Amino acid sequence: MFIPSSYLLAVVLCIITMLCWGSWANTQKMASKSWGFPLFYWDYVIGIVLLTLVFGFTLGSSGTEGRPFLEDLGQARQQTYLSAFLGGVIFNLANLLIVAAIAVAGMAVAFPVGIGIALVLGVVVNYIANPVGDPLWLFLGVLLVVIAIILDAVIYKRLPNQQASSTAKGLLLSIAGGVLMGFFFRFVAASTSTDFVNPEAGLFTPYAAVFVFSLGIFASNFLWNTWFMYKPVEGNKVTYKDYFKLGTLKLHVIGILGGIIWGIGMSLSLIASEKAGFAISYGLGQGATMVAAAWGVFIWKEFKTAPKGTNPLIALMFLLFVLGLGIIVYSRTG
Give the pLDDT confidence score for residue 232 in this predicted structure.
87
Distance in angstroms (rounded) separating the CA atoms of residues 307 and 311: 9
DSSP string computed for 270-329:
HHHHHHH-HHHHHHHHTTHHHHHHHIIIIIS-TTTTPPTTHHHHHHHHHHHHHHHHHHHH
- Say if residues 71 and 280 touch (Cβ distance below 8 Å): no
Distance in angstroms (rounded) separating the CA atoms of residues 62 and 73: 15
pLDDT in tens, 80-103: 999 999 999 999 999 999 888 877
Give the pLDDT confidence score for residue 108 in this predicted structure.
62
Three-state DSSP class for residue 233: coil
Give the pLDDT confidence score for residue 207 in this predicted structure.
98
| Domain residue limits, the chain | 14-330
Give the pLDDT confidence score for residue 106 in this predicted structure.
66
Three-state DSSP class for residue 240: helix
Average pLDDT over residues 174-181: 91
pLDDT in tens, 55-65: 999 999 998 89
CA angle (303 as vertex; 299, 306 as ends), nearest 5: 165
pLDDT in tens, 221-251: 999 999 999 998 877 899 999 999 999 999 9
Distance in angstroms (rounded) separating the CA atoms of residues 37 and 305: 26
Residue 36 parent element (H or E): none
From the CB of residue 65, how many other CB atoms can be counted at a distance below 10 Å?
A: 14
Residue (of 164, 32, 180) closest to 99 by Cα position: 180
Residue (of 244, 211, 271, 233) closest to 88 by Cα position: 211
pLDDT in tens, 9-59: 999 999 999 999 989 988 988 887 778 889 999 999 999 999 999 999 999
pLDDT in tens, 281-303: 998 988 887 888 788 788 878 77
Percent of the chain with pLDDT over 70: 96
Distances (CA, A) of 145 to 80, 120, 187, 328: 32, 10, 24, 10
pLDDT in tens, 117-138: 888 899 999 999 999 899 999 9
Give the pLDDT confidence score for residue 116 in this predicted structure.
80
Give the pLDDT confidence score for residue 107 in this predicted structure.
65
* More confidently predicted of 28 and 143: 143
Distance in angstroms (rounded) separating the CA atoms of residues 268 and 162: 36
pTM of the model: 0.90
Give the pLDDT confidence score for residue 154 in this predicted structure.
83
Residue (of 285, 292, 263) closest to 25 by Cα position: 292
Q: Is 159 left (phi over 0), alpha (psi -120 to 50) or beta?
A: beta
Lowest mean pLDDT segment, chosen from 149-153, 269-273, 309-313: 149-153
Which are the contacts of 186, defined by CB distance < 8 A and separation ≥ 6?
Answer: 87, 122, 125, 126, 129, 278
Q: What's the whole-number average pLDDT of the chain?
A: 90
β-bridge mates for residue 204, sequence order:
192
Distances (CA, A) of 299 to 117, 138, 222, 251, 294: 27, 31, 34, 21, 8
Average pLDDT over residues 201-205: 98
